[in-house]
Amino acid sequence: MSKPKVVLVGNPNVGKSVLFHNLTGVYATVSNYPGTTVEVARGVGRIGTQEFEVIDTPGMYALMPISEEERVARNIILEENPSVILQVIDAKNLARMLDLTLQLVEAGLPLILVLNMMDELRALGTRINIGILEKRLRIPVVPVIATDGEGMDLLQQRILDYVGKS
């Protein structure tokens, strides 16, 4: 049997590539402009004894694609049969980025919402109530700081929960 797949999706510039690196240990170019992740990065990650394939997709804003990159990202969701989809968002722009979250939830996909850049959020003096958010969205929500690895343990646990189910 092939390895369960973990697919990273989200707007550009939210730290998907860094998270991909954290999960796989393989470097993908870090960039804050749309374009460098046009090519899809794939790597293998391991949590405990469970191996899985990690796929980093080009940036997407909505389930309905406008650009070629978004089309690529959606095709990965449609065709690769992912066990878990991690939607990575910039916690500072929660309201704007939840738009895609709602679409993914509505589509019934196995989703984990990853709130990245929690350090920048804290620096702004803002707080997000993770408990309420999880209850209302009915999916796991995990706060992380991808650049220094904070929150990765919990995220890996949540991924295992899903992989175990499927």
Partner 1 sequence: MSGSLEMKTPLQDTGGSALDRAVEQIEGLLAGRYVLSKRAIARLLLQDDEQIREMVKVRDARAYEQVERIVVAARQSYSDPLDYVIAMRRQQEINDLLQDVVEPAGARKSSFAETLSRWTMNPATGIPILLLVVYLGLYKFVGQFGAGTLVDFLESHLFDRHINPFLIEVVGKLTSQPALRDLFVGEYGVFTLGLRYAVGIILPIVAVFFLMFSVIEDVGYLPRLALLIDRLFKRIGLSGRAVIPMVLGLGCDTMATMVTRTLPTRRERFIATMLLALAVPCSAQLGVILALLHGHRLALAVWAGVIIAVFLFVGYLASKLLPGTPPMFYMEVPPLRLPKISNILIKTYTRVVWYLKEIVPIFLVASVLIWIGQETGIFAWCINLLKYPVRLMGLPPEAASVFLLGFFRRDYGAAGLYDLNDAGVLTGVQLVVASVALTLFLPCIAQLLMNIKERGIKTGLLISGITLLFSFGVAFSLNAVLQAVGAVL
Applying CB under 8 A, the residues found at the interface with partner 1 are 11-13, 27, 29-35, 38, 61, 63-69, 71, 74, 77-79, 81, 90, 93-95, 98-99, 102-103, 105-110, 120, 124-129, 132-133, 136-138, 166
> Nearest distance from residue 54's CB to partner 1, in Å?
19
In the 8-state DSSP scheme, what is residue 125? T
Closer CB to partner 1, residue 48 or residue 106?
A: 106
> Nearest distance from residue 135's CB to partner 1, in Å?
9
Contacts of 129 (CB under 8 A, 6+ apart): none
- Residue whose entry in the numeric block shows the structure tokens 């070629």: 68
> Nearest distance from residue 18's CB to partner 1, in Å?
10
Residue 19 · residue 88 · CB < 8 Å: yes
Sheet with 111-116: strands ordered across:
41-47, 50-56, 5-9, 84-90, 111-116, 141-143
Closer CB to partner 1, residue 48 or residue 108?
A: 108
